């Protein structure tokens, strides 16, 4: 794992996975089939603040749950890609369509389905409790776990560095 902080000065786009990044990775499955996740309110504040300051925020997740979409929409996220099997293709298309250079994007993931997409961005990031292989390739490893303020830590660190917090 890296011991120095990467250069976040050019970051203008944050890309996040959901389970294990915006949530702690726990999934509560009820008898009626509903699946519930818990989101961290401080992560939500940071996302909304970043968007208000002109940063792009995108979500790329393998799961597709209506409750997750509603929560992400409440955070004013417009670029929501759920039920994605090929995160690399989705990421490449997103960057191209938005005119975003991969060098100015940071991708935070937590497990193997995120690994290849993370490495396409200027900075790969992960929560402290990410899978070992993901931590090994991440230039920014938070001190907090997924769903416990990891997203806030990345956004706040970046924005404070850029004097936009």
Residue 4 counted as domain residue? no
Residue 61: its pLDDT value, please?
Answer: 97
> Is 125 a domain residue?
yes
Number of structural domains found in the chain: 1
d(CA 57, CA 15): 6
Does 114 count as an annotated binding residue? no
Residues 6+ apart with CB under 8 A from 133: 112, 115
Under a CB-based contact definition with an 8 Å cutoff, are residues 28 and 121 in contact? no
Asked if residue 129 belongs to a known ligand binding site, the reply is no
Structural domain includes residue 80: yes
The answer to the question of residue 5 being in a domain is no
Residue 6 within a domain: no
For residue 6, CA distances in Å to 27, 115, 154 come to 32, 18, 11
**What is the mean predicted confidence (pLDDT) over 142-160?**
98
The response to whether 19 counts as a known ligand-binding position is yes
**Which pLDDT tens digit goes with each residue over 84-129?**
999 999 999 999 999 999 999 999 999 999 999 999 999 999 999 9
The reply to whether 62 falls in a domain is: yes
Q: What are phi and psi of 110, to 5 degrees?
A: -135, -10
Q: Is residue 95, in this structure, part of any structural domain at all?
A: yes
Q: Which long-range contacts (CB under 8 A, 24 or more apart) does 24-32 make?
A: 24/145, 24/146, 24/147, 24/148, 25/110, 25/129, 25/146, 25/147, 26/147
- Give me the domain span that covers residue 31: 13-140+147-161
Q: What CATH number is associated with residue 96?
A: 3.40.50.1000
CB 63 within 8 A of CB 69: no
Torsions phi, psi of 76, nearest 5? Answer: 70, 20
pLDDT of 3? 53
Tokens 């009626």 — which residue? 32
Q: What is the pLDDT of residue 89?
A: 98
**Residue 97 confidence (pLDDT):** 97
Identify the burial level of 91 via C-beta atoms within 10 angstroms of its C-beta, where 0-12 means exposed, 13-18 middle and 19 or more buried: buried
């Amino acid at each position: 794992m890296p011991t120095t902080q990467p250069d976040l000065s050019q970051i203008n786009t944050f890309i996040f996975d959901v389970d294990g990044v915006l949530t702690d990775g726990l999934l509560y499955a009820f008898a009626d089939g509903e699946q519930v996740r818990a989101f961290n309110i401080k992560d939500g504040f940071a996302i909304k603040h970043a968007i208000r300051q002109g940063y792009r925020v995108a979500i790329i997740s393998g799961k597709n749950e209506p409750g997750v979409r509603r929560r992400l929409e409440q955070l004013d996220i417009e670029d929501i890609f759920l039920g994605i099997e090929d995160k690399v293709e989705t990421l490449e298309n997103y960057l191209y369509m938005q005119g975003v250079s991969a060098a100015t994007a940071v991708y935070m993931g937590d497990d193997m389905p995120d690994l290849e997409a993370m490495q396409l961005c200027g900075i790969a990031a992960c929560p402290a409790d990410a899978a070992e292989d993901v931590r090994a390739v991440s230039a920014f490893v938070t001190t907090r776990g997924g769903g416990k303020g990891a997203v806030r830590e990345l956004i706040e660190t970046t924005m404070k560095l850029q004097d936009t917090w």
